[in-house]
């Protein structure tokens, strides 16, 4: 059987795989994407931060992206626990640090649709809409398909999600920490304007977050204990809407359910090595975090940016885009950012769940200080947005993080 050869083979047609295939093919690398277009809608949205937005705009999807997403200008944190140290709500406003917005919120399904449309319209990448059957070759450079000749790449990107079979086949170990929580996700239509404000109520079972979408619509991420989430997800629309109205203290007025529902288990997934042979992990195949602090997909776009940057530099210098040296630079560039953010999100989630008095006090005290002390609040916003980023040319810049879903 003759195999087809490409510079880059990307496996998985989620947001990361689609964006990866588009980015590499637009940069002139012969590229093949392997994976069926996802069809399941689960009401999940992604708050994309400025660094991700500028990466995506660079892929020629600016107007589609702007039309389908809503700016996030204010992030409000409300302590809704029954703690005796309950601080006042804290508001982070983007204009306090000279920004127009922290980022934009978009339905995952809309993002996937617009990236798939852009990839088809661009036409440079080959897209095999089927599942990869596995990997072969000593250097993991060959992707096997069930009924077609294999595909080989100088670089193979596993963007096949948190249960990545490519990662397992290359023997890259993943450690998953499961939380006793699930996220209920859906889309809401509401009576009042959201005013581009995302509100995160911190409750004893996890955050309850409303994130603005275009029109009088918002997405809901309600983190809860599994039995409660199962009860909620089984409610008829009208009853679920009333429950959400009450939980949100009616800040958006009357609410209707306006989209599909999803229930997603929460966990953190870490891998110690992001590459083996010619295989590099990206997106949730490489790291997964609970939906607190809007990090997941943003981390994945940063993975792609670094890989693309390193590959372009290698090509300009006549080098090999899947060499061990290049991929170990990828690992170095991404490891710290991913680790810092995973630890921060894990810590925040545990502090909320613990119910332990010292942690509760520390959280109440911290939020209270943030509410009152402007310079501290601004410093926290900048720290959240200003993670060190890496570029193949050795510069560090960019922005990542902030809150919201
Ligand atoms: C409730 C919730 C809210 C979230 N909110 C945010 C947020 O506000 N901001 C943010 O940045 N992130 C957020 N995230 C995280 C974000 O949704 C994920 O990081 C993102 O969807 C991961 O994208 P991915 O492309 O890496 O993986 P996936 O979306 O899982 O895509 C992987 C794809 O690979 C395919 N695949 C699997 N196996 C194979 C195979 N063998 N061959 C071919 N294809 C294969 C799958 O079918 C799938 O289409 C949230 C997550 C949750 C659960």
Minimum-distance ligand 1 atom for the alpha carbon of 159:
26
Q: How far is the CA of 265 from the centre of ligand 1 (A)?
A: 13
Tell me which residue has tokens 């804290």. 90
Q: Residue 389's CB: how many other CB atoms inside 10 A?
A: 19
Q: How far is the CA of 15 from the centre of ligand 1 (A)?
A: 7
Would you give per-residue pLDDT tens digits along the chain (405 residues)?
A: 678 999 999 999 999 999 999 999 999 999 999 999 988 778 889 989 888 999 999 999 999 999 999 999 998 888 887 666 666 788 888 898 888 998 899 999 999 999 999 999 999 999 999 999 999 999 999 999 999 999 999 999 999 999 999 999 999 999 999 988 899 999 999 999 999 999 988 887 778 999 999 999 999 999 899 999 999 999 999 999 999 999 999 999 999 999 999 998 888 899 999 999 999 999 999 999 887 666 789 999 999 999 999 999 999 999 999 999 999 999 999 988 888 777 777 776 666 555 544 455 455 555 555 556 666 656 666 655 543 333 333 333 333 333 333
pLDDT in tens, 55-100: 999 999 999 999 999 999 998 888 887 666 666 788 888 898 888 9
Of all protein residues, the one whose alpha carbon is nearest to atom 6 of ligand 1 is 46
Any alpha helices (H) in 275-323, and if so which ranges?
A: 296-316
Among 205, 188, 218, residue whose Cα is nearest residue 266 = 205
Minimum-distance ligand 1 atom for the alpha carbon of 266:
53
Model pTM score: 0.88
- Name the residue of 12, 37, 129 whose CB sits within 8 Å of the most ligand 1 atoms, as the mutation to test its pocket: 12
- Name the residue of 22, 44, 162 whose CB sits within 8 Å of the most ligand 1 atoms, as the mutation to test its pocket: 44
Tell me which residue has tokens 């810590």. 347
Q: How far is the CA of 182 from the centre of ligand 1 (A)?
A: 16
The whole-angstrom separation of Cα 135 and Cα 156 is 10
DSSP result, 3-43: PEEEEEEEE--SHHHHHHHHHHHHTT--EEEESPPP----S
Q: Catalogue the E-assigned strands of 235-355.
A: 255-257, 262-271, 275-276, 279-281, 287-288
Q: How far is the CA of 383 from the centre of ligand 1 (A)?
A: 26
Q: Give ligand 1 pocket residues (Cβ under 6 A).
A: 11-17, 34-35, 38, 44, 46-47, 108, 131-132, 159-161, 165, 183, 185, 221, 264, 283-284, 291, 294-298, 300, 405
């Amino acid at each position: 059987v003759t195999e087809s050869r490409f510079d880059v083979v990307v496996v998985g047609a989620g947001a990361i795989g689609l964006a990866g295939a588009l980015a590499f093919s637009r940069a002139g690398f012969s590229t093949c994407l392997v994976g069926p277009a996802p069809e399941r809608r689960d009401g999940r949205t992604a708050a994309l931060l400025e660094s991700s937005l500028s990466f995506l705009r660079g892929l020629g999807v600016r107007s589609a992206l702007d039309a389908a997403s809503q700016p996030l200008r204010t992030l409000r944190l409300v302590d809704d626990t029954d703690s005796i140290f309950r601080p006042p709500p804290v508001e982070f406003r983007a204009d306090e640090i000279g920004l127009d917005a922290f980022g934009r919120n978009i339905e995952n399904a809309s993002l996937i649709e617009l990236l798939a449309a852009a990839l088809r319209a661009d036409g440079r990448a080959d897209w095999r809409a089927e599942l990869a059957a596995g990997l072969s070759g000593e250097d993991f450079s060959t992707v096997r398909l069930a009924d077609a000749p294999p595909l080989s790449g100088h670089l193979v990107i596993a963007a096949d999600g948190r249960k990545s079979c490519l990662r397992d086949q290359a023997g890259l170990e993943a450690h998953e920490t499961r939380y006793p929580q699930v996220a209920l996700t859906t889309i809401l239509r509401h009576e009042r304007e959201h005013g581009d404000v995302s509100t995160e109520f911190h409750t004893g079972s996890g955050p309850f977050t409303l994130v603005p979408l275009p029109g009088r619509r918002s997405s809901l991420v309600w983190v809860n204990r599994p039995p409660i989430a199962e009860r909620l997800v089984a409610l008829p629309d009208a009853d679920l809407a009333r429950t959400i109205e009450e939980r949100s203290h009616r800040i958006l007025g009357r609410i209707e359910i306006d989209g599909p529902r999803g229930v997603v288990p929460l966990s953190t997934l870490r891998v110690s090595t992001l590459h083996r042979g010619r295989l590099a992990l990206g997106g949730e195949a490489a790291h997964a975090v609970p939906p607190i602090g809007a990090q997941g997909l943003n981390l994945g776009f940063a993975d792609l940016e670094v890989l693309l940057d390193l590959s372009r530099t290698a090509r300009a210098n006549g080098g090999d885009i899947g060499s061990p040296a290049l991929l170990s630079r990828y690992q170095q560039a991404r490891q710290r950012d991913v680790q810092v953010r995973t630890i921060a999100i894990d810590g925040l989630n545990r502090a909320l769940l613990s119910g332990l008095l010292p942690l509760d006090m520390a959280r109440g005290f911290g939020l209270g200080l943030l509410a009152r002390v402007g310079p501290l609040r601004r410093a926290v916003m900048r720290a959240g947005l200003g993670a060190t980023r890496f570029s193949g040319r050795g510069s560090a810049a960019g922005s990542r993080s902030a809150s919201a879903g």
